[in-house]
Amino acid sequence: MKAVVQRVKNASVSVDGQVHGKIPAGLVVYLGVAQGDTQADAAYLGEKIGNLRIFADDDGKMNRSVKDAGGGILAVSQFTLLADTRKGRRPFYGDAAEPAMAKALYTCFMDKIREQGLRCESGVFQAHMEVTYTNDGPVTILLDSKDRSLPGV
């Protein structure tokens, strides 16, 4: 499971011109679910993202999590994070999970965020969405649930 996490001052996602999810300051999380991903991957990323210390403390150092900062999370499913562009010019998405599994794990991820007491808004799974936000920093973090097995992590 892959995630792109962006610290934002505000964010919203619209489908067909209607706002579906909206947060004040917090994080936009684009989430890509791969074949073979499990609930353990969703739980790992949910916990990791909820506790990432990427918000400024009183001294201006990134020492606070989204929880500490009182922010929310806007989770947007994005299978294109699984794009393989090594061959040719058209991305290959064969490593992306099948829609039913991807939706179940996307929902599991959001549940893990909410279990931490965080507000979690979302896009609409498999819809064409318009995401609007004001990047803060910018701070952008790339996460992969498979990286948790690295030595020393």
**pLDDT tens digits, one per residue of 80-113:** 999 999 999 999 999 999 999 999 999 999 999 9
106-137 confidence digits (pLDDT tens): 999 999 999 999 999 999 999 999 999 999 99
* Domain positions in the chain: 2-145
pTM attached to this predicted model: 0.94
- Token reading at 96: 């992306």
**In CATH terms, is domain 2-145 a member of 3.50.80.10?**
yes
By annotation, the residues acting in catalysis are 80
Task: Single out the residue of 48, 16, 30, 47 nearest to residue 133, CA to CA.
Answer: 30
Per-position DSSP letters for 107-142, written without gaps between them: HHHHHHHHHTT-EEEE--TTS--EEEEEEEEEEEEE
